Amino acid sequence: MTDIRFHTLPGGRRIAFRHLAGEGPTIVFLPGYMSDMDGGKATSTLHWAREHGRACLLLDYSGCGSSDGDFADGTLSGWRDEIVSLLDAQVQGPVLLVGSSMGGWLMLLVALALQARVAGMVGIAAAPDFSEWGYDDTQKTALRAGSTVYEDNPYGPEPTPTHARFWQDAQDHRFLGSPVAIDCPVRLIHGQDDPDVPWETSLRLAQALRSDDVQVTLIKDGDHRLSRTEDIAVLLRTLAAMPT
């Protein structure tokens, strides 16, 4: 595995990343909510890139994995700015953004910031706007009031927190209600047995994107993680077929 390195932001906070040199647009993997670069899809992407001589970068958002910071302070805006700072410092040339779940929301924000540097995007159960459709009215009232909302976590023993700061910032970055000014090739992969992010979200995103080069792949028995061997194979085939 490529060694962990650190990018220091203004103010001294360090962002952990792994960077593999290679050809083509640098594949940048953006993990999901409370996830990190040691997840199965991220590491499989890095291994595939190494085998095929492709450039690849994995990272941990602040407050996650090996990066500095407190998760409770994290926001989409802050994580977007960290990613852009890291890419400006470490990557020359175009990038191919790969976003898993919340990372699929972040990849839209990063793409709008980087503009022409983005050669393409691949979303895996992309979850834009989940601050809107993912919470009921009672939860939204609590979040507006500054409270933290906790939900059952099917992937671990501790409940999943949503902090008011994150939610309030996320509400300012909703995409699905209007055209999204992104023109690069986009591929969206979604499981139809996803209990967390409705698969129709990828169809809504495909419709909202300005790009005409958008394809959606639905995996009928796929769950939210899409981490089975056969699911990862779909991801890797998608990466291999992306324009370079």
pLDDT tens-place string over residues 14-49: 999 999 999 999 999 999 999 999 999 999 999 999
Catalytic residue, candidates 60, 163, 173, 194: 194
Can you tell me the distance from the alpha carbon of 110 to that of 113, in angstroms, rounded to the nearest whole number?
A: 5
Cβ(101)–Cβ(122) under 8 Å? no
Per-residue pLDDT tens digits for 61-98: 999 999 999 999 999 999 999 999 999 999 999 999 99
Residues paired with residue 123 on neighbouring β-strands, in sequence order: 99, 188
At residue 113, the pLDDT reads 98
Residue 244 pLDDT level (bands cut at 50, 70, 90): confident
Catalytic residue, candidates 44, 62, 100, 101: 101
Can you tell me the distance from the alpha carbon of 207 to that of 15, in angstroms, rounded to the nearest whole number?
A: 34
Per-residue pLDDT tens digits for 177-234: 899 999 999 999 999 999 999 999 999 999 999 999 999 999 999 999 999 999 999 9
At residue 226, the pLDDT reads 98
At residue 180, the pLDDT reads 98
3-class secondary structure, 24: strand
Residue 1 pLDDT level (bands cut at 50, 70, 90): low
CATH code for the domain defined by 5-130+181-241: 3.40.50.1820
Residue 224 annotated to the active site = yes
In this prediction, residues 94-117 reach a mean pLDDT of 98
Phi, psi (degrees; rounded to nearest 5) at 187: -125, 130
Question: DSSP label at 9?
Answer: P
Residue 77 annotated to the active site = no
Per-residue pLDDT tens digits for 122-150: 999 999 999 999 999 999 999 999 999 99
Nearest CA-CA partner of 76 in 88, 63, 66, 65:
63
Catalytic residue, candidates 19, 202, 224, 231: 224
In this prediction, residues 153-167 reach a mean pLDDT of 91
Residue 173 annotated to the active site = no
Of the chain, the percentage scoring pLDDT greater than 70 comes to 100
3-class secondary structure, 128: coil
Question: In the structure encoding, which two tokens stand for residue 160, read together?
Answer: 């999943």
User: What mean pLDDT is reported for the chain?
Assistant: 97
The amino acid that residue 174 corresponds to is R
Can you tell me the distance from the alpha carbon of 227 to that of 205, in angstroms, rounded to the nearest whole number?
A: 22
Can you tell me the distance from the alpha carbon of 123 to that of 129, in angstroms, rounded to the nearest whole number?
A: 14
3-class secondary structure, 88: helix
